[in-house]
Amino acid sequence: MQQTPPQPHHPTSRRQVLAGAAGAAAAFGLTAASAGPAQAAGPAGAAEEAARIRRNARTMLGRMSLKEKIGQLFVLEVYGTRADSSHAKNKELYGVSTPAEVVSKYRPGGVIYFDARRGPDNLKDARQVAKLSNGLQRAALRSGARIPLLVSIDQEGGSVVFRMLEPATQLPGNMALAAGRSRTDVRRSAEIIGSELAAMGINQNYAPVADVNINPNNPIIGVRSFGSDPELCSTFVADSVRGYHRGEVASAAKHFPGHGDTDVDSHTGLPVIKHTREELDSIDLPPFRAAIARGVDTIMTAHIVVPSLDSSEVPATMSKPIVTGLLREELGFDGLIVTDALDMGGATEDFPPDVAPVRALQAGCDQLVLAPKTDTAHAAVLAAVESGDVTESRLDASVLRILEHKMRNGLFPRPYVDEARAERFVGNRRHAADAARITDRTVTLVRNEGKVLPLSGAERSVLVTGWGADQVAALAKAVGKRSGQSATPLETGPTPTEAKIEEAASAARDHDVTVVVTNAAASAKDKGAAQASLVKALMKSGSQVVAVAVRNAYDIQRFPDVPAYLATFSYGDLSLASVDDALYGDLNPSGRLPVSIPALDDPEKSLYDFGDGLSY
């Protein structure tokens, strides 16, 4: 369903808003209407619209100063929940106090929102986020070239990479959606996320993840991927792009050229992808090709080394053969190319703050996300352009794409959103109901020896134990509400000690059923071994044991003989509610594995195949 786009709120009337946007556009010989999103229908009309946008962007580009152009390259984080609120971190990083002052000082092409877990603490509730977005747009439109901001976020869905918590609707992540095998659900999930972000003034989502996760030990992608099958990933990446566009937010496929086969986290190190060019063509690149064919707005590069593509072994983000040669020229992508965060270990390890932004720009990237030491980074790019290390035509090419991106997405006539509408729209009942139905279809029953599940209606005592204090408590509470069921929560932590394991095993001996929650038990040696010891001790207790993997489905590698095993690919509240229903047969699990699960001691042997999944 096409969502109604958010209507402007600040200034106080639509006429004032359009007048303000028209002022920004008219300064470059444009009108607000001519700076808006494409309206023409059909191939001829689309080509005419693209040509009109290109002309307008060139006109605007021609009247920008060098420093204004360089500003458009950067995507910054700002600290605080209000555009006009002071924060010590802004002063430390940028020398000014408020988010609005940061925008006024640097005139960036975009900002990126984070919640308190990283530090910026931009996200509290829908009205507050909408007001922050409006305030930052107002600062952008009152300074320098008066160009609206790309306001971006990482809202992938699921319980790994997400920034906006409730009241925003919480949707399953990619691997969970892939387990559900519904293209309609994938599109609808992206549409809900996109439409809610748009309502809050967030116009660029750095999603979907297009990586094909063929390495069970991948510490950074895992359930963020649609799975291990390139064809399935390609289909769902394209559907996700379509859903975001329906929700009227720009999409971004990441992490090019493919981060799915690594056991190193690029946040802390520099992974090396050893795929041949043939393997890249058959495994890693198909989802990106599908995203481009579907019209993805943005592609994000990865801080990974791919020797088969660039023998210099620099990260892809800094590699001209990969960014310009492969992505831009061979794959024909003409949209926006953005870096992954330049403050990540994969970028900073060999590229200091005065080098990384220049090298990424030389490689062909258009926007530089979270470049550390902003003053240093700006000065380095300016010096590179003035010296000729980066030609002005190279700079202009990126700025032109940024301006065109903003025009295509309607940011000139509609830079502001209605704050009251955001509060009403975000997390609405229809979205919540759709999210619950979609989540129900993702639960995957992998093993059910002796038909342990579904649990009968007989009275019984249930121990809920394992990883996650909140998750164990929530699941125990749900079970305990059922007639004739008593439930005891006992959280043991991500790496249970011998004492905790014995405590849980002792408790299990006094309960009819034990539900044990695991999280990434197969992906980390110490943590995985400890969680496996817990499950095995519980299996010896005499209690019926049901293991529930709430992140990666691979956990069963460490305890293959567990009587019953459910995979949810998420530990969000909706997933736990679906687990409760699946335990008691109110929900008949219909998910199918989007990955194969190899044996722990023999990767060539498959415990469970791609597509496996049981029902009652």
CA-atom Rg of the chain in angstroms:
25
342 contacts: CB under 8 Å, gap ≥ 6 = 317, 348, 356, 357, 360, 368, 369, 370, 371, 372, 377
- Cα torsion through 342, 345, 346, 349, rounded to 10: 100
Task: Yes or no: say if 471 and 576 are a contact pair by the CB < 8 Å rule.
Answer: yes
Distance CA 575, CA 563 (A): 21
Token readout for 440 is 């129900």
| Intra-chain end-to-end CA distance of the chain, in Å | 33
Please report which residue ranges of 9-150 form alpha helices under DSSP H. 14-26, 42-62, 66-72, 88-94, 99-106, 126-141
User: 265: burial class by Cβ within 10 Å (0-12, 13-18, 19+)?
Assistant: middle
Give, in order, the Cα–Cα distances in Å from 581 to each of 437, 454, 477, 568, 588.
12, 9, 13, 13, 8
**How far apart (Å, rounded) are the C-alpha atoms in residues 214 and 175?**
12
Report d(CA 366, CA 106) in Å as an integer: 17
Q: What are phi and psi of 95, to 5 degrees?
A: 80, 5
For 352, residues 6+ apart whose C-beta sits below 8 A from its C-beta are none
Q: Given strand 150-153, what is the order of strands in its sheet?
A: 204-205, 150-153, 110-112, 74-77, 368-369
- Concatenate the DSSP letters of all residues of 151-165 into one string: EEE---SSSSS----
How many CB atoms within 10 Å of residue 41?
9
Are the CB atoms for 178 and 236 separated by under 8 Å?
A: yes
The phi, psi pair for 77, rounded to 5°, reads -100, 145
Strands 368-369 vs 74-77: parallel, antiparallel or unpaired: parallel
Closest-CA residue to 516 (of 557, 455, 471): 471
Distance CA 143, CA 107 (A): 7
CB burial class (10 A; 0-12, 13-18, 19+) of residue 548?
buried
pLDDT at 605: 93
Q: DSSP 3-state assignment of 338? A: strand
* Whole-angstrom distance, CA of residue 427 vs CA of residue 437: 15
CB 215 within 8 A of CB 272: no
Which pLDDT value is given to residue 30? 44
The answer to whether residue 340 is catalytic is yes
267 included as an active-site residue: yes
- Active-site residue identified among 340, 434, 555, 580: 340
- Helices 356-363 and 374-387: crossing angle in degrees, nearest 10, is 50
Q: What is the pLDDT of residue 524?
A: 65
Per-residue pLDDT, 4: 36
Contact 476, 213 (CB under 8 A): no
The pair of three-digit structure tokens given for residue 241, joined into one six-digit string? 């792009």
Task: Name the active-site residue from 84, 115, 265, 267.
Answer: 267
Q: Which domains does the chain have, with CATH numbers?
A: 14-430 (3.20.20.300), 443-608 (3.40.50.1700)
Q: Rounded to whole angstroms, how far apart are CA atoms 86 and 107? A: 18
Which of these, 432, 409, 431, lies nearest to 198 by C-alpha position? 409
Q: What is the mean pLDDT of each run of 10 residues along the chain (616 residues)?
A: 36 32 41 39 81 94 96 98 97 97 98 93 96 98 93 94 92 97 98 98 98 93 96 98 98 97 82 95 98 98 96 95 98 97 86 96 98 97 97 98 97 96 98 98 97 91 97 97 96 96 98 96 82 97 97 96 97 96 97 96 92 97
Element at 513 (helix H, strand E): strand 513-518
Q: Are 104 and 84 in contact (CB under 8 A)?
A: no
